């Protein structure tokens, strides 16, 4: 029986585990690009913790889920880096992470949340659409043979 997911704010000591989970989550869908796409994870404290948040979900003190948001402009934030370890998927952990991010964003007076995913991440697309995110545009990245899909949601 798996222990309960405990959600808390990111700590610097989580960095190695966050990186592993990030790469594992993307490689699962053959969507890991590396390089400039990961710059934010080299500076989580400045990118996320000043005008947003970065949370992790632990089971038995191991990081098994994560997610973040950062300020885009007054009233608008971007959801980033939602990942759930493959061993823990389809157990509602992604939902718990997203719900917590939306709650924290609302507390910080954000009214609009935006995010992006790729055409290769079908479960992510379905997940965000189920949660009220509306597709706003698609952008082709020929170099990577990917489509970026952008979403937006108004929150209270």
CB atoms within 10 A of CB 135: 12
Judge whether residue 1 has pLDDT over 50: no
Nearest to 124 by CA among 81, 156, 61, 71: 81
Judge whether residue 26 has pLDDT over 90: no
Query: How far is CA 27 from each of CA 23, 31, 67, 124, rounded to the nearest angstrom?
Result: 6, 6, 17, 14
Instruction: Round to whole Å and give the CA distance between 109 and 156.
Output: 9
CA 67 to chain centre: 4
Nearest to 114 by CA among 77, 82, 88: 77
Q: What is the mean pLDDT of residues 40-65?
A: 95
Instruction: Round to whole Å and give the CA distance between 110 and 74.
Output: 7
Q: What is the mean pLDDT of residues 119-126?
A: 91
Instruction: Pick the more confident residue, 120 or 59.
Output: 59
Percent of the chain clearing pLDDT 90 (strictly above): 76
Judge whether residue 81 has pLDDT over 90: yes
């Amino acid at each position: 029986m798996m222990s309960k997911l405990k959600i808390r704010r990111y700590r610097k000591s989580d960095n190695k585990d966050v990186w592993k989970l990030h790469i594992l989550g993307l490689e699962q869908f053959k969507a890991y690009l590396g390089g400039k796409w990961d710059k934010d994870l080299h500076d989580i404290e400045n990118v996320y913790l000043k005008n947003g948040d970065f949370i992790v979900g632990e089971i038995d003190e191991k990081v098994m889920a994560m997610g973040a948001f950062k300020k885009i402009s007054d009233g608008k934030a971007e959801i980033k880096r939602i990942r759930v370890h493959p061993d823990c998927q389809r157990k509602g952990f992604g939902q718990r992470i997203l719900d917590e991010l939306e709650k924290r964003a609302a507390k910080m007076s954000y009214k609009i949340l935006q995010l992006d995913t790729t055409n290769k991440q079908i479960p992510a697309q379905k997940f965000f659409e189920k949660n009220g995110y509306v597709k706003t545009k698609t952008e082709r990245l020929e170099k990577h043979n990917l489509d970026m899909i952008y979403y937006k949601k108004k929150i209270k």
